[in-house]
Amino acid sequence: MSGIITITAPVNIAVIKYWGKRDEDLILPLNDSVSATLDTNVMCAKTSVCARPDINENEIWLNKLKESFNNKRLQNCLGEIKGIARAQKSVDEEFLSWNVRIYSENNFPTAAGLASSAAGYACLVTALAKLYKVKTDISALARLGSGSACRSVYGGFVRWHAGVKPDGSDSVATQIVNSLHWPEMRVLVLVVADTKKHTSSSKGMQCSVATSELLKYRVQNSVPKRVNDICKAIKDKNFATFAEITMKDSNQFHAVCLDTYPPCVYMRDVSHKIVEVMHKYNEICGQTKVAYTFDAGPNACLYLLEKDVPEVIALIKKVFPTTKQDFVKGLPG
């Protein structure tokens, strides 16, 4: 009988977006992506796992609700880790035959475009790897559950390499810089809506790959240079360059979504208003002080430096008055 393994994993917010796969089964992306890992003290997923002989069937509970274990990605992660454990003989066969119970919870909206699956699967595979005592690249395992989950394995700024090998062995995440490199960086998360989005990221990606001409252009012509340039900007702590690339990539990503047929519409009127306000603010300041980015959802993530946080929060509260205390969350980058 196993003890309970509990793991916490962070959310990551992409500045160069992952959208589209070259292999659906192995979850191999069409292009490299770059993200910042947020502070687990503010936004995270927490997962506990155990294996016992008296559990009649594999179970998973998400935010206190029992979900179906009949999920291909979930089963792939568990099967892969058990296979590695069997090969490494890290636990005995009897232990491998026991069913598992998984409890997972997020302290932020699930399926609302805030990278909940990334944190969740990063948590899950790390916990299962510890449960079965396996030694392997956790980022590659996390990718099998949710592509962007491999970026949540590391802190700081992280690059997920698309790779070129058919087996995906070179599609792994690496840390660009750790969280101490740019201590002045901050992220504000503006929750426009915490409801489940109409089109899941997985379905949206499949449609874009099948129908969007702009996606092909993006992968071949836009992303390679942007990735190299933003990695240099991060290492040099060049905020102006970092911000411009971040906003342009977010805009192009959502343009791809609209170029998809039928279109995937993730942003809302309030989302577009946030874009307008941030550009106007930068214009008035005479320099780029804040950058926005939107994942596949309506919620905005703003990158800015610590010295500008009070002014930007005051601006947001004035333009977007709300009674909700959690409308804006300030997070260390």
241 backbone φψ class: left, alpha, beta (φ>0; ψ -120 to 50): alpha
The predicted pLDDT at position 109 comes to: 59
Q: Are 204 and 257 in contact (CB under 8 A)?
A: yes
Q: Which residues pair with 185 in a beta bridge?
A: 305
What proportion of the chain, given as a percentage, has pLDDT over 70? 93
Q: Which residue do the tokens 């949540």 mark?
A: 152
Please indicate, yes or no, whether residues 299 and 164 belong to a single structural domain of this protein.
no
314 pLDDT exceeds 80? yes
138-145 and 72-88 helices, crossing angle to 10°: 150
CA dihedral 307, 313, 318, 322 (to 10 degrees): -170
Residue 33 sits in the same domain as residue 132: yes
User: What is the residue-averaged pLDDT of the chain?
Assistant: 92
* Statement: residue 323 has pLDDT above 70: no
User: 30 is in which domain, residue-wise?
Assistant: 5-177
User: What whole-number distance in Å separates Cα of residue 65 and Cα of residue 61?
Assistant: 5
Q: What is the pLDDT of residues 256-291, one digit of tens each?
A: 999 999 999 999 999 999 999 999 999 999 999 999
Of residues 3 and 173, more confidently modeled: 173
Torsion angle in degrees (nearest 10) through CA of 40, 129, 50, 118: 40
More reliable by pLDDT, 50 or 329: 50
User: How much is the pLDDT for 333?
Assistant: 40
Q: Residue 112: pLDDT band by 50, 70, 90 thresholds?
A: very low
Which of the listed residues 177, 201, 228 is the one where a domain comes to its end?
177
Which of 177, 201, 218 finishes a domain? 177
CATH number at residue 128: 3.30.230.10
**CB neighbours (10 Å) of residue 275?**
17
Q: What percentage of residues in the chain have a pLDDT greater than 90? A: 82
| Number of domains within the chain | 2
Does residue 243 share a domain with residue 173?
no
The pLDDT value given to residue 194: 72
Average pLDDT over residues 68-80: 94
Please tell me whether residues 234 and 147 are part of one structural domain.
Answer: no
- Read off the pLDDT band of 1 (50, 70, 90): low
Given a cut of 90, is residue 143 above it in pLDDT? yes
User: Based on the domain organization, do 81 and 217 belong to the same domain?
Assistant: no
Own/partner long-range contacts of 94-99 (Cβ < 8 Å, ≥24 apart): 95/2, 95/51, 95/132, 96/132, 98/2, 98/51, 98/52, 98/53, 98/55, 99/51, 99/52, 99/55, 99/56, 99/57, 99/58, 99/59
CATH number of the domain within which 264 lies: 3.30.70.890
pLDDT at 3 over 90: no
pTM for the whole structure: 0.90
Q: Which of 160, 177, 194 is the last residue of a domain?
A: 177
